Structure 1
Amino acid sequence: MTTTLLDLDGPDHAVLTGASALNRKQAEQAVRQLLQALGVPADTEVGRNTPRRMTDALAQLLTPRSWTFTTFPNDEGHHDLVLTRDIAFTSLCAHHLLPFSGRAHVGFYPREKLPGLSKIARTVEMFAARLQVQENLGQQIAGFLEEQLACDGVGVVLVAEHLCMTRRGVRAAGADTLTVAARGRLQQDPTARIEFLQLAVQSGRTA
């Protein structure tokens, strides 16, 4: 068994998530000013307490839980597709600061290492806990797993509802967005790609 310790409080991660560098005093003051600009009196319950509540909510959305990436030797030489489906996630749209939520389906073709299956879900959670764009989120998950597992290929399908599209702007209620990120064999081998996409999408739930 091998483990990779993830420095979720390190400087690089703080830049990516924004959560480790959160200045609560400044955040609450900014929310207070926003509420006042929206016409909310400062002496009301909302004016007094929403800045704290909103800051708490944003900190929670942008702070991944600490964890360790654990792998095990592939002693039996398993080389077929491993697919984890329906991993629920919520992230925060980098363009509008509105949530987008959905399901991730993650597959890989192993070589010498196999992950603890919960680590696939942890990886999704880790990269979702930052200001995100769905296309980037899938690529980040795929790249991280490819690096950690040194595997033959990785694929990530994300299906999500974006409140910035379904509740504002065009208000396309019920619409979801599907993105695919593929590396290695799942990018280069059409047969492997089709197998992965069919298994990931046909039986997986959507947002």
Structure 2
Amino acid sequence: MTDTPKKTVLKSVPAPTRPSREEAMAAVRTLIAWAGDNPDREGLKDTPKRVINAYAEWYRGYDLDPAEELSRVFEDVSGYDDMVILREIDVESHCEHHMAPFLGTAYVAYLPTDKVVGISKLVKVVEIFAKRLQTQETMTAQIADAIDSALHPRGTAIMIDAVHQCMSTRGVHHPNVSTITTQFTGEFKTNPALQERFLRLIGKTG
């Protein structure tokens, strides 16, 4: 009897109860003091409020559901069965190790079966996962998994190319190093020629 391959499931730890806005601003004041400055001086008085407002924008992905974004599909594709590719999707995220930004570009492709989704929804899925504390590797896999789960395509291809500020502004201080991650599923995973065509179409191969 042949064992059926098991799908890799990305596990997530439930978030704890969120502190109040006042508690979050108090934490920022503590960090300012820890850094060696006075949180009560004029230039820093409103900084806790600004930081919390910025966090609400940077991490809004926790309040959004990628499955919901991909729930509305279009079944009238007139027999189209080739790649759907989105190139040059801006990625603005923060690494979960240092909470430092990493900035780059995502490329997303899928091979539709009997339905497609609005292209803006694919961009939104990238944004949802980017607006969380992340590792680039995890985010790449999460995007592919969300598309596979919602659309059941014949295959999905994801590439992210990003520069991590935790490496360029601290630590080894190498500002010109970018990290590339890929995730291929379905026919993209089993067909090297299809992978090569995807990479050529997004301009990532000679």
State the TM-score, normalizing by the size of structure 1: 0.84
Q: CA deviation at 1:15?
A: 4.0
Q: Secondary structure of the equivalent of 1:53? A: helix
RMSD of aligned alpha carbons: 2.3
In structure 2, the residue matched to 1:178 is 180
Give the stretch that moved more between structures: 73-82 or 185-194: 73-82
Alignment partners' CA distance in 1, 2:20 and 2:59: 13
* 2:163–2:175 contact (8 Å) kept in structure 1: no
Q: For residues 169 and 52 of structure 2, what CA distance do their matches in structure 1 show? A: 22
Q: Is the 8 A contact 1:14 1:21 kept in 2?
A: no
Distance (Å, rounded) in 2 between the aligned partners of 1:96 and 1:140: 20
Residue 38 of structure 1 pairs with residue 35 of structure 2: yes
In percent, how many aligned pairs have the same letter?
Answer: 33
Figure out how many residues of one structure are paired with residues of the other and give that number. Answer: 190
Report how far residue 47 of structure 1 moved: 3.6
Q: How does 1:98-137 map to 2 (within 5 A)?
A: 98-137=100-139
Counterpart amino acid of residue 174 in structure 1: N
Query: Structure 2 stretches of 5 or more lacking a match?
Result: 1-10
Within the alignment, does 1:61 sit opposite 2:58 as a pair? yes
Report the more deviating stretch, 74-83 or 137-146. Answer: 74-83
TM superposition score normalised by structure 2 = 0.84
Q: Within 2, Cα distance between the matches of 1:43 and 1:128?
A: 33
Distance 1:14 1:103 in 2: 27
CA offset at residue 200 of structure 1?
2.2
How far, CA to CA, are the matches of 1:90 and 1:118 in structure 2? 17
Amino acid at match of 1:154: T
Contact kept in structure 1, 2:105 and 2:161, CA below 8 Å: yes
